[in-house]
Structure 1
Amino acid sequence: MSMERRAVLKKLGVAGTLGTLAGCVGVQEQSTDTQANDGGGGNDNDGGGDSDSEETTTSSGPAGTAKVWYSLPDTEIPARKEAIENFNGNSKHTIKGADIADLAKKTTSAIPAGQGPKLFEWAHDWVGDYSQRGFLAGQGDELSVSLDQFTDAAAQAVQFDGKTVGLPHSAETVALVYNKDVVDSPPETVADMRSVMEDFHDPSNGKYGIGYPFDPYFASAWLQGFGGYYFDPQKDPMLGLEQSSTVKGLKFALDNFKPYMPKDPGYEAQAAVFAEGNAAFAINGPWYLSTLNEKGVNFGVTKLPKPEGGEPNPYTGITMWYFSKAMAEGGASASAARSFAEWHVTNEDRALQAAKDQGAIPVLDSLAGSDELPPRVRGFSEAVAQGYPMPTHPKMNKVWGPVGDALTKAFNGDADPESALAQAAKKIRSNWE
């Protein structure tokens, strides 16, 4: 399984989908450990967490070594290594980074055993579940960074039960990506978009109207576009899959996009056709831009087009550094981890470079919506404004898998939208019990 495929499935919080994949792929760990100035480093398979025994004392106080975990596409790993090297070269502390193939599995086994990292990076939707399971530590009283520096959505995403359990560094959602060699101007409505897809679509010659991975995160814009929803703890019922408005959204997505997509709804097949220049449109996230840049695609990004009678309402995520429960022990290694996280999330130069190179959407108030951002990133920023933050409630983790199964069945014609979503709702309620 490619790094990009892995990152998309995981980083977007599709925890249930990951569970279904566990039997299909082996647990793999790609080490990208980085130590001070040398770009090399140890292996994170040391079986232990950070240790204050590794610390040295300098004139300005103790210097700590902290381990941090993340899960990134191959195209983003060099930038992360460079960031860690930059920090290490200008700090008394040392950060050791490692890319983890199955971050969900690794964190849930290592953290309780006291063998996990001080920090790990993921979308915000684990906040509620991991907080309730005792995997995280509130660090609000220890931070020198104010949450007022970030957008409201980002500041809210890293808090749970009054505790600050991490720091945010970027936003994510899906937007419309268009091939400038095919599309004269980005469509404002789905109807306009469909007319372009109709003209370009020619699967017998390898041409498609759109490349669009069809899973719960990517399809959320439409299932939630007519008043529907997957799960909302503030609503009654909390589970909204059987609402007529949610069913309407799924039907809309199938009617308007499926006819112009490759037959395989999976990420790799859908992402490939646009990246190879063989689709007029793609619906994808900012992580996709590094691939398109690498492929030399002439593309633009804009917010999702409006469906007749509705408004696109995609799930949005805040990528954050989580403070693992090991941070509660304090000491110089915890100081090292906090220092790195604070620098990483507030350094404007780093955030701007990530926006330019990777399409990362800054959540610093000073940069959000700024004219300094590349036009493509501003397109994603507009899409974030259309969206709805993924719920952090622990019950949400049981929603992703059954909804994913329902969407696949509906896409493949194995069940109609209404019965597919009803089956998913039944499965979710059983999982909750």
Structure 2
Amino acid sequence: KIWHALNPEEEAVFKEIAALYMQSRPNVQVVFENKAPDLQTAVLAAISTGEKFDLFIWAHDWIGLMVEAGVLKSVDNDVADVLPKFAASIPQYKGRVYGLPFTAETVALICNKKMVTEPPKTFADLTKIMQQYHKPPQSYGIAYIVNPYFVSAWIHGAGGYYFDDKTEKQGLTDPRSIAGFEFFKKNIMPYVGPNPTDYNTQVSLFLSGQTPCMVNGPWSIGAVKKAGIDFFVAPLPPVDSTYTPKPYGGLKMFYTTIYASKEAIDFMKWFTTDPQAAKILVQKLGYVPVIKDVEIQDPVVQGFYEAIKNFYLMPVSPKMQPVWGAVDIVIQNAIVSDQKTITQAVQDAAKDLCARGLC
């Protein structure tokens, strides 16, 4: 029994892959149950009422919360034999594994081929492109959603961090984090179009041909294709040999509950590492694979596959939650406006986090 909140298109493909598995194992029944729109509440409620299910599917950043709530069991020994097959790092909480991923997401550079013929190799190349097309209000240098998730690439690339999952401490006041915020403000922010914090505004600027490129994830590709844009996807380009942008990334995964049977764990291992299953997910859903041995024909998926090699896994500790809000305030006060300097903004934001024991 697998609980999920997949969309109908995804659910159909998952069932198709499960059917392949069951063909050769007639005694195994794989059942998917849709618990949208609030999977988290359903999972937590089931644990208190004793309703049993083996696995559930969600992004990896629930691990800390779910372990602390007594929902999950670790499967380190059960999955040790398949771990070498993965190209992406496997999410862990306090050194233990609680499930396996089947796809990754992060942001990359998506460019309109009419304006940009080939991926910029360096940040200097990207700067030239942004300068060339920045002619407000007709056009802008780049479509960029200025929020903590999207901006994280430049903080991590500079060697900084919002939050350290191991120590469970904030890193906003680290000089390298400040340098990352400064870099973004000085070198990207001047070229971003109006309403920088609004997702839909930024995407529509790109879709209407008013920016040469946008920074976005695989979830946005459907809209780009629908708009009939000829485009490519490439990793965010390095600033120099020591500064490669490392955006936050997420993994979608199977979580193993305290009730997970051996059959369910075997199915999870097969689904996440079988090259044929990975190929179906790439072809039918455009999922970015996380295993090493996979053929990718689709250049869009290939672009994101290259981007996940530089990604920074989103924290799994439940203590990360207030940090998102703190970074948001830094962005509001010091990046999209000049109410404070960046140093002042991060120091103010850190005060609140320190009061919560995160310093």
Q: TM-score range by the shorter chain?
A: 0.7 to 0.9
Deviation, structure 1 residue 342: 3.5
What are the within-5 Å matches in structure 2 for residues 43-192 of structure 1?
66-71=1-6, 77-88=8-19, 91=22, 92-98=28-34, 100-115=36-51, 118-140=54-76, 146-151=82-87, 153-154=89-90, 157=91, 159-161=92-94, 163-192=96-125
Contact 2:141 2:193 in 1 (8 A): no
What's the CA shift string for 1:41-66, capped at 9, x where partnerless? xxxxxxxxxxxxxxxxxxxxxxxxx2
Matched, 1:285 2:217: yes
Matched, 1:366 2:290: no
Measure the CA separation in 2 of the matches of 1:234 and 1:162. Answer: 9
Contact 2:5 2:34 in 1 (8 A): yes
What's the CA shift string for 1:127-159, capped at 9, x where partnerless? 2332233121234566697323323613xx2x4
Contact 1:136 1:165 in 2 (8 A): yes
Q: How many residues are matched? A: 350
Counterpart of 2:190? Answer: 259
Deviation, structure 1 residue 70: 2.8
Measure the CA separation in 2 of the matches of 1:117 and 1:428. Answer: 37
Is the alpha carbon distance of 1:113 and 1:418 closer, same or farther for their aligned partners in structure 2, counting shifts above 3 Å?
farther
What's the CA shift string for 1:379-418, capped at 9, x where partnerless? 2222222232233344333322222232233333143322
Match for 1:269 among 201, 210, 226?
201
Match for 1:421 among 339, 342, 346?
346
Is the alpha carbon distance of 1:152 and 1:381 closer, same or farther for their aligned partners in structure 2, counting shifts above 3 Å?
closer
- Percent identity between matched residues is 32
What are the within-5 Å matches in structure 2 for residues 271-350 of structure 1?
271-307=203-239, 310-327=243-260, 330=261, 335=263, 337-338=264-265, 340-350=267-277
Measure the CA separation in 1 of the matches of 2:80 and 2:29. Answer: 16
Deviation, structure 1 residue 286: 2.1
Contact 2:163 2:171 in 1 (8 A): yes
Matched, 1:385 2:309: yes
Measure the CA separation in 2 of the matches of 1:116 and 1:298. Answer: 47
Counterpart of 2:25? Answer: none
Deviation, structure 1 residue 421: 1.9
Which SS does the other structure have where 1:297 is aligned? coil
Deviation, structure 1 residue 105: 4.7
Is the alpha carbon distance of 1:85 and 1:210 closer, same or farther for their aligned partners in structure 2, counting shifts above 3 Å?
same
Measure the CA separation in 1 of the matches of 2:328 and 2:122. Answer: 26
Q: For structure 2, list consecutive stretches of 5 or more residues without a partner in the other structure.
A: 23-27
Contact 1:287 1:360 in 2 (8 A): no
Deviation, structure 1 residue 106: 4.6
Measure the CA separation in 2 of the matches of 1:226 and 1:140. Answer: 33
Measure the CA separation in 2 of the matches of 1:428 and 1:301. Answer: 36
Measure the CA separation in 2 of the matches of 1:132 and 1:99. Answer: 21
What's the CA shift string for 1:189-212, capped at 9, x where partnerless? 22321222222234433x332222
Which SS does the other structure have where 2:212 is aligned? strand
Measure the CA separation in 2 of the matches of 1:233 and 1:350. Answer: 31
Is the alpha carbon distance of 1:383 and 1:130 closer, same or farther for their aligned partners in structure 2, counting shifts above 3 Å?
same
Is the alpha carbon distance of 1:216 and 1:105 closer, same or farther for their aligned partners in structure 2, counting shifts above 3 Å?
farther
Is the alpha carbon distance of 1:211 and 1:126 closer, same or farther for their aligned partners in structure 2, counting shifts above 3 Å?
same
Which SS does the other structure have where 2:343 is aligned? helix
Contact 2:4 2:58 in 1 (8 A): no
Which SS does the other structure have where 1:209 is aligned? coil
Counterpart code for 2:256: F
Say what the alpha-carbon RMSD is for the aligned residues: 3.0
Q: For structure 1, list consecutive stretches of 5 or more residues without a partner in the other structure.
A: 1-65
- TM-score with structure 1 setting the length: 0.71
Matched, 1:398 2:322: yes
Counterpart code for 1:70: A
Deviation, structure 1 residue 188: 1.9
Measure the CA separation in 1 of the matches of 2:194 and 2:277. Answer: 39
Measure the CA separation in 1 of the matches of 2:100 and 2:290. Answer: 11
Deviation, structure 1 residue 110: 4.5
Counterpart of 1:16? Answer: none
Counterpart code for 1:378: Q
Q: Which moved more, 1:144-153 or 1:273-282?
A: 144-153
Deviation, structure 1 residue 89: 7.5
Counterpart of 1:212? Answer: 144
Measure the CA separation in 1 of the matches of 2:331 and 2:127. Answer: 21
Contact 2:131 2:141 in 1 (8 A): yes
Counterpart of 2:128? Answer: 195
Is the alpha carbon distance of 1:289 and 1:353 closer, same or farther for their aligned partners in structure 2, counting shifts above 3 Å?
farther
Measure the CA separation in 1 of the matches of 2:326 and 2:48. Answer: 27
Is the alpha carbon distance of 1:93 and 1:276 closer, same or farther for their aligned partners in structure 2, counting shifts above 3 Å?
farther
Contact 1:290 1:358 in 2 (8 A): no
Measure the CA separation in 1 of the matches of 2:285 and 2:144. Answer: 20
